[in-house]
Structure 1
């Protein structure tokens, strides 16, 4: 189970999201599961980590649709936390950066 696999990162929860599941660590989204495939979050500061492994991006509406900044994780990586945890930490860092950006934008609009 993903919550057990990612437990070294913090308190892991999964919530229904857009027909799949969002994977959260201490309330920060860093992954999602769609059609039984795990995707981890990326941003401009860490995208190259995922691209260096030639991982596919997530296209929620199929290959002709838009892509979002999540990368598909090979299923065999889920068998060993030594394979997956370094990438999960990178994804969590991207989630933390996104969370800080959203909070900053909210503070600027509230007057």
Structure 2
């Protein structure tokens, strides 16, 4: 996804900074990472408090295969499908990601 598309996605939260990292992009708001872009997909930060909401909305948690083929779960989740067609819904999810970033301090 290009920078303009990412910025539009996060307009309900405010300005974001996009930095290259690990073959993808890190997406930051006010100095805190709120999302990553991997393989063209934006994944939002979540934690123990917000991940149940992501799961209930049909999102999936990002993981990669670690050593010995074991899955390593990362604190990032896919964006619920309904958010792509509704700016207010997208704003809800990106705010949840920012709240998780604040709790991660």
**Greater CA drift, 77-86 or 33-42:** 77-86
Partner of 2:96: 90
* Runs (5+) with no aligned partner, structure 1: 101-111
Instruction: Pick the structure with more strand per residue.
Output: 2
Partner of 1:10: 14
* Runs (5+) with no aligned partner, structure 2: none
**SS of match in other structure, 1:24:** strand
For 1:43 and 1:28, locate their aligned partners in 2 and report how far apart those are by CA, in whole Å.
Answer: 14
Residues 38-90 of structure 1: per-residue CA shift (max 9 Å, x gap): 10010011111101112111013489531101111256633432221101100
User: How far apart are residue 34 of structure 1 and its match?
Assistant: 0.3
Instruction: Pick the structure with more helix per residue.
Output: 1
Partner of 2:25: 21
**Greater CA drift, 29-38 or 71-80:** 71-80
**SS of match in other structure, 2:26:** strand
1:53 to 53, 57, 80: 57
- Structure 1 or 2, whichever has the larger Rg, is 1
For 1:97 and 1:75, locate their aligned partners in 2 and report how far apart those are by CA, in whole Å.
Answer: 25
Query: Which TM-score applies when normalising by structure 1?
Result: 0.77
Distance 1:22 1:75, change over 3 A: farther
For 2:70 and 2:82, locate their aligned partners in 1 and report how far apart those are by CA, in whole Å.
Answer: 27
Query: Which TM-score applies when normalising by structure 2?
Result: 0.81
Larger relative CO (CA 8 A, sep 6+): 1 or 2?
2
CA RMSD of aligned residues (A): 2.1
